[in-house]
Amino acid sequence: MEHHDLNNNTPTTAPFQISQGQGHHHHPKFNNKSRRVRHKSVQFDDNIFLHGDNSRLIYVNDPRRTNEKYEFTGNEIRTSKYTVLTFLPKNIFTQFHRLAYLYFLAICALNQLPPLAVFGRTVSLFPLLFVLCVTAIKDAYEDWRRHRSDRNENNREAHVLQPCGQFRLKRWKNIEAGEVVKIFADEMIPADMVLLGTSNQSGIAYIQTMNLDGESNLKTRYARQETASAVSQEACAVSGVIRCEQPNRNIYEFTANMEFNGKKFPFNQSYIVLRGCILKNTDWVVGVVVYAGQETKAMLNSAASLLKRSKLESYMNRETLWLSVFLFVMCSVVALSMGLWLVRHQLQLDTLPY
């Protein structure tokens, strides 16, 4: 359980602990992996700023200065595997990871040689080409659905603070690190953001992290009182510099410092809301984007998966390999025996009945 001081509403416990009560479900995609891979984070205090390659600077409400210096990635995401140009070579390469395809390709290639041809050269290609085409069509349809899902996700809209001081709608894919974003109740978080203020005077917000870790219980997040006092429903007067750690996939840890109005104060995981979370029981929150797009913790945890194989397919690959080895050994023995026999009987070849 998190405890906070009623005066400043700052958590007294450093790490945010996920409740393990009954009835909570854990998503296997993120929960186990994130707990298994524990990235060592640099600890901050009120008077220490991290320098060098271990940190990045985020200029609050100054995305141009932030991105000109560091060239961060945009907020556009991509989960599809192929493009129009890469589909054919990548798909064929993936399909030929099945040893059965390589086996039949070798048979077709040998059948194109006149001395070894057993049946029609063109006919021998039809079965393999049919299987390759059907699989390619299936993969193309699945990847088209991924492209459509990515397009819908990237074209969502969120309220972003403009130079004029007002919040205007902006597509997710155009949001940059350093921009100040306002999220309303039941809306999804478009990027990893450090909270600057909430509709609650105590700086408290509640989020649902089911899309990240599969847990249905709400999590508490906080905004520092130093910044919350400068945030209202209509405007945000916060400007400063946040120095945070480099992007990593650990959804349970975050360390950063902020310099604001001549003061320095730390942030931990209780002050950050991650992409994919949903704001609950809170009218609105305002935060600054620190990680966007492929650098968000959600996307780092959804890296391209390895080629999945069923037990039957693995068994077939193994049996095909042994069959190929057996055929190679048998053909080698027969060819060698035939060669030796011809050497011994080369003078009698003209008189043999066959």
The pLDDT tens digits of the residues spanning 272-291 come to: 999 999 999 999 999 999 99
Average pLDDT (4-27) is 41
Residue that finishes a domain, picked among 125, 157, 189: 157
182 and 286 co-located in one domain: yes
Q: What is the pLDDT of residue 51?
A: 52
Per the prediction, the chain carries an average pLDDT of 81
pLDDT digits (tens, 9 = 90+) for 45-78: 444 445 545 788 999 988 888 888 777 788 999 9
Beta-carbon contacts of residue 344 (< 8 Å; ≥ 6 apart): none
108 and 142 co-located in one domain: yes
pLDDT digits (tens, 9 = 90+) for 199-239: 998 899 999 999 888 888 999 999 998 898 888 777 777 88
Please report whether residue 9 resides in a domain: no
Percent with pLDDT over 90 in the chain = 47
Q: What is the pLDDT of residue 47?
A: 44
203 and 55 co-located in one domain: yes
pTM, entire model: 0.71
Q: What is the pLDDT of residue 255?
A: 92
Percent with pLDDT over 70 in the chain = 81
Q: What is the pLDDT of residue 90?
A: 94
Residue that finishes a domain, picked among 260, 275, 300: 300
- 297 pLDDT band, cuts 50/70/90, is very high
Please report whether residue 115 resides in a domain: yes
152 and 192 co-located in one domain: no
122 and 260 co-located in one domain: no
Q: What is the pLDDT of residue 306?
A: 61
Please report whether residue 289 resides in a domain: yes
If one counts the domains in the chain, the total is 2
More confident residue, 107 or 117: 107
Please report whether residue 36 resides in a domain: yes
Q: Distance between terminal CA atoms of the chain?
A: 92
Do residues 113 and 130 lie in contact, with contact meaning Cβ atoms separated by under 8 Å?
no
More confident residue, 46 or 310: 310
Give the CATH number of the domain where residue 41 resides. 2.70.150.10
- Percentages helix, strand, coil for the chain, rounded to the nearest 5? 40, 20, 40
Task: List, in sequence order, the alpha helices (H) in the chain.
Answer: 31-36, 63-70, 87-95, 99-111, 126-154, 210-213, 225-228, 297-300, 311-344
CA distance 275 to 302: 12
pLDDT at 21 exceeding the cut of 80:
no
Q: What is the pLDDT of residue 303?
A: 65
232 and 127 co-located in one domain: no
Beta-carbon contacts of residue 118 (< 8 Å; ≥ 6 apart): 111
pLDDT digits (tens, 9 = 90+) for 162-212: 888 889 999 999 999 999 999 999 999 999 999 999 999 889 999 999 988
Q: What is the pLDDT of residue 117?
A: 73
Q: Containing domain of residue 103, as a range?
A: 87-157
Coil, helix or strand at residue 269? helix
Q: In 3D, which of 253, 251, 252, 254 has the Cα closest to residue 297?
A: 251
Please report whether residue 291 resides in a domain: yes
Strand 256-260 vs strand 278-280: parallel, antiparallel, or unpaired?
Answer: unpaired
- Residue 236 is given by DSSP the state B
pLDDT digits (tens, 9 = 90+) for 128-144: 999 999 999 999 999 99
pLDDT at 39 exceeding the cut of 70:
no
68 and 93 co-located in one domain: no
Average pLDDT (289-304) is 88
295 and 192 co-located in one domain: yes
41 and 93 co-located in one domain: no
- 317 pLDDT band, cuts 50/70/90, is confident
Residue that finishes a domain, picked among 300, 318, 335: 300
Residue 231 phi/psi, 5-degree rounding, is: -115, 135
CA distance 100 to 91: 16
Please report whether residue 333 resides in a domain: no
237 and 184 co-located in one domain: yes
pLDDT digits (tens, 9 = 90+) for 83-106: 999 999 999 999 998 888 888 898
Q: What is the pLDDT of residue 153?
A: 94
What token pair was written down for 174?
């155009």
